Structure 1
Amino acid sequence: MPRILLAEDDESMRVYIGRALERAGYTVTSVDRGTAALPLVATGGFDLLLTDIVMPEMDGIELAQRAVALAPAMRVMFITGFAAVALNRGEGPTSNAKVLSKPFHLRDLVAEVDRLFELGATPA
């Protein structure tokens, strides 16, 4: 089963998302900030980085760019509560990343993650 690294600074969101993905059969490792995620990415073994965009210390976009440089085959999915946040959709490591806007239902999140792996989407 795919391994997911979840970076979310809101503790309640982190817990709910982690539980929902674990119930769906995924292995989830959760951290509260991007700077805590990078050392884990460097160890390898994650198939998906699921990250909030707006976090302290390092935002999710910078995290994704650094993470994909360390693990090029890892997929990226962003979650955000700020609809105005726009990603540069040009070339680069996050150009194919999925963005899911908060609020979302946990089953929608799980469905998006399932689709990402079922379709064999091109890694970000």
Structure 2
Amino acid sequence: MSEPNQPPRILLAEDEEAMRTYLVRALENAGYEVDSVDRGTLAVPLLEDSHYDLLLSDIVMPEMDGIELAQKCNEISPATQVMFITGFAAVSLRASADQPRAKVLSKPFHLRDLVMEVDRVFQDRKEASL
């Protein structure tokens, strides 16, 4: 987890530029530090070089989808939480040894709902560490 006085760090992987811009703005306005990329293959080196508290990833992206990215994230940085955003409501994810458990938020969603879910991830994590 980030240092006590540092805001939680989020890595956002979203291929749709307008959505990425809105999400970054909403999360930064809520007090989070956000780095964003437009594909999973660009997220991997960031996960290797920096610490992130949360990976927020679209599921359907070019080059590397969000599921593959989450698996890579789990290998590189197992302490990083994962949350998916997707426009495909029918996508269902089951936890398994090679697929980390993750919250799924279906598009369209209100930015307020996204921030609330992200806040909940960090609140649950904080309570679990007490």
Shift of 1:86: 1.8
Residues 61-80 of structure 1 show CA distances to partners (whole Å, capped at 9, x for unaligned) of: 00000011000100000000
2:125 is paired with a residue whose SS is coil
Matched, 1:20 2:21: no
Which residue in 2 is equivalent to 1:46? 52
Provide runs of 4+ in structure 1 moved above 4 Å. none
Q: Larger C-alpha radius of gyration, 1 or 2? A: 2
Which residue in 2 is equivalent to 1:9? 15
Structure 2 gaps, min length 5: 1-6
Shift of 1:44: 2.7
AA of the residue aligned to 2:118: V
Shift of 1:94: 1.6
Shift of 1:93: 4.3
Correspondence for 1:29 among 26, 35, 55: 35
Structure 1 gaps, min length 5: none
Match runs of 1:19-98 below 5 Å: 19-95=25-101, 97-98=102-103
2:67 is paired with a residue whose SS is helix
Question: Is contact 2:67-2:99 (8 Å) kept?
Answer: no
**Could you state the TM-score of these two structures normalised by the residue count of structure 1?**
0.93
Shift of 1:85: 1.4
CA distance in 1, matches of 2:97, 2:51: 25
Aligned-residue CA RMSD (Å): 1.3
CA distance in 2, matches of 1:69, 1:119: 22
